[in-house]
Structure 1
């Protein structure tokens, strides 16, 4: 898939997340439980839809924040905390298709930035569109914060 990369000024967006320090090996088995924990918290507050799922990778350790964009205030409990997606100049692309191929979107942004002399700050994140059963209809926005 060809990924069109553009530059944007991102505003901070409030999130409810479970933060964690993990490994790339363990992360694939952890993220779903973290996301389920956030949704259980939102459901307990009467919120069952309208919040897009997000995964924020703060660095390469990885320190991650898994959760949702908040569209309204919500009491948080347990490991679920308030945070925000970073503000600043970003390179962004839209990935259409299977989540298993999201790596190609990240590579496209990194390569596009390198070819144009844009230094990456490190944090990057994914904002997921509405769930679709057909992988061809899945849309995920991939952001990389610029230095």
Structure 2
């Protein structure tokens, strides 16, 4: 797999998220529920969705992932049930667009990690994925973002 990787400077972006844990078998259900609940809460507060849904993965192991998922929004939300305010950081980041099954995003992330090392960068924070297509689009496109310095 060969992706075009670029380094960009990103501004901080307010987000509305739900934090949780998902296993490989439950990830699609967890994200589906999360995106619906966050969109509903944001709309109920008069917030505009400012980009595609994303998931930010804090820890990853064989049993699953600790993550926060939701949407970028035009202004911070107030906590509403399981929905809470967060943000994507202002940072320099390597990014690529992966087109293929969701279960191959890990390979693209590995490619980004290798690219960072080859080009003198180091990852500085956890990565996130923005889902440019819904699961009904085959193959879907996913933006992978890795903060770096």
TM-score, with length taken from structure 2: 0.78
* C-alpha distance in 2 between matches for 1:72 and 1:56: 19
Q: Which residue of 2 aligns with 1:144?
A: 146
1:68-97 CA-partner distances (Å, limit 9, x unpaired): 111356555111111111211111111123
8 Å Cα contact 2:124/2:147 also seen in 1: yes
Pair 1:64 & 2:64 matched: no
Change (3 A) 1:2 1:114: same
Cα distance in structure 2, aligned partners of 1:122 and 1:27: 25
**Cα separation, 2, equivalents of 1:133 and 1:74:** 29
Task: Give the length in aligned residue pairs.
Answer: 145
Shift of 1:36: 2.8
Specify whether residues 91 and 27 from structure 1 end up closer, same or farther in structure 2 by C-alpha distance, changes over 3 A only.
Answer: farther
Q: 1:133: which partner in 2?
A: 136
* Aligned partners of 1:5 and 1:108 also within 8 Å: no
TM-fit CA distance, 1:44: 3.7
Maintained 8 Å contact 2:93/2:145: yes
Q: How do 1:1-147 and structure 2 match up within 5 A?
A: 1-20=1-20, 22=21, 28=27, 30-45=30-45, 51-60=51-60, 62-71=65-74, 76-131=79-134, 133-136=136-139, 138-147=140-149
Listed as ranges, the gaps of 5+ residues in structure 2 are none
Q: TM-score, normalised by structure 1?
A: 0.79
Q: Compute the displacement of 1:35 (Å).
A: 2.6
Gaps of 5+ in 1: none
CA contact (8 A) 1:55 1:66 kept: yes
